[in-house]
Structures are given as C-alpha cells and as structure tokens.
Chain A
Amino acid sequence: MRPELADALSRLRDDLAGVRLGLELPGAARARAARDDVVGQIGDYLLPRLRQMDAPVLIVVGGSTGAGKSTIVNSLVGADVSAAGVLRPTTRGPALVCNPDDRRWFEDDRVLSRLPRRTGGSPAPGTLLLVPAPEVPSGLALLDSPDIDSVLATNRALATQLLAAADAWLFVTTAARYADAVPWEFLATARERGTALALVLNRVPDDAEREVTAHLQEMMRAERIDALLLVVAETQLADGRLPSSNLAPVRRWLDALAADAQARADLIRRTLTGALRSLPGRAGAVEGAAAEQLAAAADLRSEADLAYASARQEIEDALRSGSLLRGEVVARWHEVVGTGDFMRELQSRLASLRDRLAAAFTGRELPAEQLREAVEHRLEAVVRAAAERAAERTSLAWSERPAGRAFVESAPGLSRASDELRTETREQVRAWQGYVMDLVRKEGAARRTTARLASLGVNGAGFTVMLAVFASTGGLTGLEAVVAGGTSAVGTKLLEALLGDQAVRTLAARAREDLVERVDRILRDEAECFAGLLDDSVPDAQSIASLHAAIDAVRRAS
C-alpha cells in the first residue's frame, strides 16, 4: 500500500466530483456519466482495495436480464439468495454472498459505501443484502447484480456501479443473447479497464452448443476479449436450481480460485493494475470534456460581450452625434436659459412668470423640469433600445449553439432586456443629472467657471454642460444638430459661444466620463443575466488545472 497513491486517488476523486459539466454540449451526458463512474470506482473499489489487499475477492455476477444470474448464484450457494423467475427484470437489488468468516470485510462501509447493508429478507433496491453461506469458499465473495439491459434504468445504473467495484466479473449471457449490442458494450468496458473476466454462456440448447460456442469465441477474438468461456447447457431446473453437472465448469473455476491464494492475489492485482492504468485516460476524457465546456462557455461569453460592446458603441455614437439634442431639448434649453433676441427674452421672461403661476396653480411642470425629463427620456430610450438589441442578439447567437440553446429555451425572457432595466436606467440618468448640477455648483463656488457660464445660474449652466456633452465631441455635427433644432440665429450664436467655452468643455468632458461609466454599469448588469448562467454550470480554469495535476499525480504514483 503506497500512501502517496491513495492520496493522489482521493485528490483525483475530489477534483473530479467538483468538476461542473452543466453545458448541454454533444457528449456532455457521456462525460458526466464517465465522471460519476470514475468517482464511484475510486471510492467503491480502488481505495478500499489498496488499503486492504488481503480482503476476499469480490466477484460480481452481472449480465443481461433473463440470463440466469440469480439461478447460477442460488445453485452455487445451494440456497435461495435472490429470487429467480420468469418475470423480467427479476432482480432489483444486489445480494452479496460470502463465507461467514469473511463477513467482517463487507459489514462496514469499506466497499460500496453508498449502499446500506441489510441481512435477512430478499434483495431490495438501494440496499446491499449480506448473505453468509458456508458453501462459498473462504476468500471469495459473490455479488448477484441487477441486469444491464432491461427497461429499468435504475437497474442499469446500479449494475454499472457494482461492476466498477468488482475484482472480477462473472459475466452471464445466453445462447439467445450473446450477439446483443448492450452486453458487448460492457465487455468492451471490462477490456479497457483490464478487469478480470469470466464469461458464462448460459442456457445453451444441446444441439447448438458447438455452433454458438464457436461463434462466440470468434466474436471474442474479434473484440479482443480475453476471458475464460464457461458453457452451461439449457436444462429443466430442478427445484429452481441448475443440476451440479451443468454448473461444473463455473464451480471448477471458483474452486480453483479458492484453493490458490497466489491466483487470487494475481487476479486482484490484475484488475487493480488495469483499473489504475485506465484511470488517467478516463479522467483525461473528463478533463477534455471540461476543457471543451470551458471553451464553449468562453465562446458564449464572447458573443454576449460582443453584443454588449456594440450596444455600448451604439449609445456612445448616439451621444456623440448630437441626436439627443434634436427637437424639444434645445428649445427647452432656451426657455430655461432664457436668452436670445430681445423679443425672445421678453417672451421667455413673461413665459417664465406665466409658467410659475401656472405651476403654482395647476401643478404643471416648469421648463427646467421639462428639460430634465426631455434629456432623461431621450437617454433612456437610447440605452433601452441598445440593451434590448444586445439581449436579442446574444440570445439569437446562443440559440444557434448547442451549448447555449438549452439556456435560451429554458428562459424565454432572456431575449429581452431585464425587467429592472427601465428603473435602473432612469435612476442612473437622474443621478447623472444630479452629478452634473453638483459639478457645476462646486466649480462655480471655486470660481473656476467663466463669467458667461456663471451668468446662466446653476440650472442653466448645468443644462448647458449636458448639452455640451451631447454636442462636444461631435464638433460641427453637434452644432448642425442644434441649428436644425430650429433656434433663432442669435440663440445659436450664444450656444455656439458657450459650447466653445473652455470651462464648458472641461466640465462636459467630466460629465461625459461619468455618464459613460454609468451606462457601462447598466450594460454590465444586463450582460450579467447571461454571464451568470454560465458561471453556475461551467468548470473554472483553476479546477481543470487542479484536475490535470491530480491525474498526473495518479499516473506518477501508480
């Protein structure tokens, strides 16, 4: 017993068990089964066997439904361990038969720790029935397992688990079954893992023995199955048991094994070595699948990133093009700032007075409030449309990939922006406006602004800075937009002068930075709807690296 090997195996088991394979890639189900298989085999077989090399040989009797596994076990033991019958599948729970002296090896949870032990009664699913029988030679234990190919999927899973825990397989097939596809898949597994194997060809009619045996041997050669072939003829059962003459080949094999401690040790060593040798490859396949999942997740993530990056670009373009200034924004700005030609000024003064009165009596909003809302609505519309488009684009790209389709189909809301987007955007835009006002107030107090800007008051200056954010980088195009906004020539002149003002430009640059940052935050939250799905179901690079190291450690230690 090498302690470093046991350590390496425990580590490999833990690392494998922690590998998430949640993406529905082709082959993912197989990889998950392989992972569980390796985890099970390390815990159920390799660790206990390494710890106690002198424990009895565990021979698992497995095979097709109706092949006569239980009949063979009952006949060998001379007792009704497991009910045999004509209704399929007959056996639904495992039963372990051993010499009463060997019982102590199987009573604790050394092997098959996930199956609670039971004594007495008949086998039941989910438990392991322990049957002490003096007929079984000391040093051997027989485990009657459920079938591998009936409609009961739980039987199949249990049989797979039991076979992975075996020192040797006594694999039972029949003259009617020997060419079935499912048993040969199991035999191929045994070959790959180097499991010691004896094949029982049961229920062979007298007239067919030669033909069927020859064909089966031919198939075994073609499939490179190295196993002892034991032929049991079809016969009338006497009291549910096979006559000992029919069963002689099987009993001879078992007796020889029981008599020869060296042969037992060789058999144990052979299966153990085979299993250890197969381990890096099998775990490597899981690692490969995990890496594939990681790559697929990265691909999905990059699709989302791409979509949201282009949403960000879209919003920036909208900010830059000055399109947010069109229409009522500039007009409202004039109302707020109240500048322009003489008539306009007069009008706006009167209008402002009228508005104040109206606001006082009817609760209608003041121009500043209206301008604030106009800016807010515009920004919100742009951000929302961009986020919606990004969500749609991402979900479409995902649904074109096998790994992403499952997510999109299970969450139809994924193709739309999140429900919180609206309020979130509104809040951020408001916070930004507050930030701009604060900025202007602070700069004004520090007398870092020009007289022209200061003359507009905090509100007017704040809104001017906002306008400048939407027009500044656009330069000419921004101004064109303002002109197209239909303001009077004098108003335009003033605005042009203001936009050219160095203080306004500096403030606008900072306001713009803040706005872009807020937009980024909103889009990041939106993209998180997609990224969050991936985080929960995909292995991280670190766990894959750790798994790789664990596999290497096992390879070195064994």
Chain B
Amino acid sequence: MSRDLDRRLLALAEAVEVVEGRLEPDVVEPARRVVARAGARLGLGVEWTVVALAGPTGAGKSSLFNALSGGDTAAVGRRRPTTSEVHAATWGEASGPLLDWLEVKRRHHVDGDELHGLVLLDLPDFDSVETAHRLEVDRIVELADLLVWVVEPQKYADAALHDGYLRRLSTHGDAMALVLNQADLLSAGGAAGVRGDAARLLEEDGLHDPTVLVVSARTGAGLTELRALVAGRVAARDAATRRLWADAEAAARRLRRWCGDFRPAGVEEAERRQLVAALSEAAGVPRVVEAVGAAHRHRGALATGWPVVRWIRRMRPDPLRRLRLGRSAGDAERFGRTSLPPATDVQRAQIATAVRALADGASAGLPTPWPRLVRASVADEERILDRLDHAVGNARVEPSAPRWWRAASLVQRLLVLAAAVGALWIGLAGVAGSLRIEDVVPLPELAGAPIPTWLVLGGLALGLLLAFLARLVDNAGARRRQRGAERALRPGIEAVADELVVRPVERELAAHETLQRSLAVVAGRTSL
C-alpha cells in the first residue's frame, strides 16, 4: 500500500514538474501542495491517525469530542458559535512535531491504550458569521487523515456543507464519515429516515457507499459505533496513506482536465517535408541552385568558350562568388552572413505560415493551452532565418570543374593558334605577292584549297563548333551540378527544421505524453 502510494506520489510529482510553467499557477499550485503535503505527512509518521471533527455550528462537535476523549476539555455551550480554536486530544506518547505541523496550540493528553496513536481534533464551525472559523476549518480539512462530519437534524442538508465541502471532496469517501448527532431529538423512525436521506444527499455529492452513523452525544447512543470506527482506523494505521492516496487521485483528476485523453500522432512526415520545402524557399535555395548552374556555365564558357570573344565574359562576375558562396565550407563563418539578399517580409511570412501549419497540425485535438504551448516552443522567424543563412553558407555547393575543360581549353588555344598561323601565312603570302616575290612563301594545296586557308577557316570553325559543343555539355553538367547542390543544401535545411521546429514541437508533445502517463499512474489506470 505504502509503496504503491510512493509510486503514485512520484508520478504526481513528475506531472507537477511537467505542468510547471505550462499551465496557470492556480492549476499547478494545488497539485504541488498535495505533493509537498504528502511528503511532510509521511515524514511525520503514519502510525499516527489524525481525526478531525468538523461540522456546522451547534451540531455538537465539542460534545462528541468530550464524549470520545472522556473529559470536558472542549467548551460546550448554547451561544453560537461556541468553539473558535482547534483543540487536540492525543492518545499515546507526545506527538509534538505532528501537532506543530497541524499548528494546533491547545493540546490535551488522554491516557488509554485502546486508541493509542489517535490525534482527535475539535474544529470550529464553517457556517457561522465568523469567517475566521471557516478559514481554520479549510486549513485542517486539507491535513486531517479522517474527516468526521458532525451534523444534526436541522442542518444535515445545508448548502454550506454539501456545496462548500462534500462535493469538492467527493474523491475522499475513504477518508470521511458523516455523523448525525442529536438523534435524541428524533423519533426512531425519524432518525432512520434522516439517516437514509443524508446518505442519499452524500450519494448526490458523488460519494459512493458513504459511512453514516447516527449518534447522540447527550444520551450516548451510537457512541460505541463511532468509537469502533475510529479505533478501527487507528489500529489499521493506514488512514494517513488512504487520505494522501485520495488527495493524489483528486489532484490527478483535476490535472487531467488540462491534458485530455487524446494522444496526438506527432509530427507527420508530410508536414515535415512541407516545412523543409518552405524553409528552402525562404533560405534562397532556388537562387543558390540557380547560381550554381550559372556559375558552372560561366566557368565552362571561360574555360572552353571561343577564345576570341571569351574575354568579354571575363568582365562579368562569377554568379556564385557574387553571393559569397562556394569556395569551401566555413567561408560563411569568416564572412559572417552570405550575400544572399536579406530575408524579406515575404520569406518571414512563408516561414511563419509553414511553422504554424506544422505546430497546429501536430497539436490538433489537444485541449488548451497545449496548441499554444506547442506553437510557442518553436524558435522565432529571425533565428530560423539566421540559422538558415548559416546552413546555406556552410554547405559545399562549389561545382567541380570537369577535367576535359583543360583539354578543351588547350584544343581551343591550338585552334586559335592554327588559325593565327594560317592567317599569318596568308598574310605573308599576300605581302610577298604584292611585292611580286613569288614562291618565297609556298602555298601548298590540300583538297583544292591552300593549307593556310584550311588552317584559318578550320581553326575558326572548329573553335566555334567546340565552343558550341562544350556549351551543350556544360548545360547538362550545370543541371547535374544543380541537383548536386540541392542535395548538398538539403541536410543543412533539414537540420535547421529539425532543431528549431520539429524537435521543440516533439518535446512539447512528449511533455504532454509524460503528463498523460503520469496522471494515468496516479489514477491507477496503468502501472509504471
């Protein structure tokens, strides 16, 4: 029993830890007080049984107290309200710490072995014009192990009792009993009727199979049964654990309202994919990918283009360099941000919408305030944007230069050289011709045309052809490298999505699940 209680209290403490800072303080505080109170009460020893006599003014609490403790220590009177201070009678050796914890100053020691371990408390009323009395009762009602509600035939149906206390304590049937005092004012049949009616009202309050005793402090009728009830609890030495058990269960029931029974499915892969897509878009991945392709084509043109005009291209900046991207990993750290244009409102809006969609989807079906908590757990757009920029800056997107570029470059140069040689040759031949010096510059013919002509026309034509073919190949290569860059950028974006969005959301969902699980343990619905 006690070990089971320990387990439940641990689970409740875990639940309190989860709801701390997540739910409103007025929800968290009562549960935390239960945990703290249980610790304190268990530390003071379960061998003591604290029984409190509570009831409306004039019900005869003090008379019963005197009857049970065999003295006249509690003042009994006609003037209402009579008792204004809690009064304790203890059976057995001194129980100072327990009474200190109960903050009871008026103490009285009773000899007698029969009720050894009993601490009997006489409480003030809770329904008189003295509001201070009600506060004192409220305090002790939280602490006592067994609450004996003393009522009389006039007052057993009062709203102050049922609405004020019993309905709220409907989980504590095990730690409560109702005593109908002043039965001497009723006929025997009347007493039985009132007893049944009182039991009916208790059932309506939510107490199942309530204990109802009919006594008369004046005539002594029924006192034996009351004494036996108390003695039974004292002997069993489990009243304290039963009470705490009920406390824990009630606290769990109140908390359950804030977590519900629904178990969310978590972040779905499709939602995550959508988020990654939105983040990629916002991070400028399409622009980087475009730039990678453009850079490859640009560099390819520089390497393999027609040398005659390729110097023009040299004046254009490298598309990838312009974004301060590429080169090697770690550049972004050296340069701070990339030169991707700073994030726009559109990007921020896209990120916000994507993040919200994921959070709302993941928390759909959860009671308030969980959807809000899930949404709040996600990092803000600025941070996401910053991290995305780093991720893009650190990715290896530099397109590799194919080896054939060098060969093609060499061939282009040779072709230009050939054309130049041919031109020079023709030029020399022309100069020689104009000087009427024949045959100094030979013009051997090949296939009906002079070789230098072949050299010039062939060099130029082949150069153009090569440039054209290289461009076709480079276009294909650029597309391949774009896909490669996309693949290289993806893990970084995914890491940002996971770290700043998906995982925080999953953490909140896990907290919710922990709360659900620990509350189920407290309620005894599952074992750990």
> B154 contacts A326, CB within 8 Å?
no
> B154 contacts A182, CB within 8 Å?
no
Closest residue of chain B to A90, judged by CB?
Answer: B157
B203 close to chain A: CB less than 8 A: no
| Set B159, B341, B350: member contacting A150, Cβ < 8 A | B159
> B345 contacts A382, CB within 8 Å?
yes
Closest residue of chain B to A486, judged by CB?
Answer: B287
A178 close to chain B: CB less than 8 A: yes
A87 to chain B, nearest CB (A): 5
**Known contacts A66-B154, A67-B154, A481-B341; is A149 also within 8 Å of B159 by CB?**
yes
Separation of A205 and B58 alpha carbons in the complex (Å): 13
A381 close to chain B: CB less than 8 A: yes
Separation of A8 and B155 alpha carbons in the complex (Å): 43
Tell me the interface secondary structure of chain A in the complex: helix
> B345 contacts A321, CB within 8 Å?
yes
Q: List A residues 35-80 near B (Cβ within 8 Å).
A: 64-67
> B78 contacts A378, CB within 8 Å?
no
> A484 contacts B341, CB within 8 Å?
yes
Separation of A473 and B441 alpha carbons in the complex (Å): 71
Q: List A residues 180-199 near B (Cβ within 8 Å).
A: 180-182, 184
Separation of A87 and B195 alpha carbons in the complex (Å): 9
A179 close to chain B: CB less than 8 A: yes
* Surface stretch bound by B, among A108-116, A264-272, A385-393: A385-393
| Set B58, B341, B352: member contacting A388, Cβ < 8 A | B352
Contacts of B265 in A (CB 8 A): none
> B160 contacts A385, CB within 8 Å?
no
> B193, B197, B204, B346 — which one has the most chain A CB atoms within 10 A of its CB?
B346
Separation of A336 and B81 alpha carbons in the complex (Å): 92
> B154 contacts A150, CB within 8 Å?
no
B162 to chain A, nearest CB (A): 5
| Set A64, A86, A314: member contacting B186, Cβ < 8 A | A86
| Set A184, A314, A416: member contacting B345, Cβ < 8 A | A314
Q: List B residues 255-287 near A (Cβ within 8 Å).
A: 284, 286-287
A478 to chain B, nearest CB (A): 12
A160 close to chain B: CB less than 8 A: no
> B346 contacts A382, CB within 8 Å?
yes
**Known contacts A87-B193, A177-B58, A179-B81; is A415 also within 8 Å of B372 by CB?**
yes
> A323 contacts B345, CB within 8 Å?
yes
B367 to chain A, nearest CB (A): 8
> B194 contacts A86, CB within 8 Å?
yes
Contacts of A493 in B (CB 8 A): none
A531 close to chain B: CB less than 8 A: no
> B159 contacts A385, CB within 8 Å?
no
Separation of A314 and B349 alpha carbons in the complex (Å): 10
Q: List B residues 155-172 near A (Cβ within 8 Å).
A: 155-160, 162-163
Closest residue of chain A to B375, judged by CB?
Answer: A392
B412 to chain A, nearest CB (A): 21
Contacts of A420 in B (CB 8 A): none
A471 to chain B, nearest CB (A): 13
Separation of A88 and B350 alpha carbons in the complex (Å): 66
Q: Mark A79-114, 1 if CB is under 8 A from B, else 0.
A: 000000011110000000000000000000000000
Contacts of A318 in B (CB 8 A): 344-346, 349
| Set B153, B158, B159, B353: member contacting A384, Cβ < 8 A | B353
Contacts of A88 in B (CB 8 A): 153-157, 197
Closest residue of chain B to A319, judged by CB?
Answer: B345
Q: List B residues 192-223 near A (Cβ within 8 Å).
A: 193-194, 197, 201, 204
A212 close to chain B: CB less than 8 A: yes
> B153 contacts A180, CB within 8 Å?
no
B79 close to chain A: CB less than 8 A: yes
> B356 contacts A388, CB within 8 Å?
yes
Q: Mark B139-165, 1 if CB is under 8 A from A, else 0.
A: 000000000000011111111101100
Contacts of B81 in A (CB 8 A): 179
A156 close to chain B: CB less than 8 A: yes
B394 close to chain A: CB less than 8 A: no
Chain B residues close to A by CB (< 8 Å)? 56-59, 77-81, 127-131, 152-160, 162-163, 186, 190, 193-194, 197, 201, 204, 284, 286-287, 341, 344-350, 352-353, 356, 360, 368, 371-372, 375
Nearest 4 A/B pairs, CB to CB: A323-B344, A385-B349, A88-B157, A179-B80
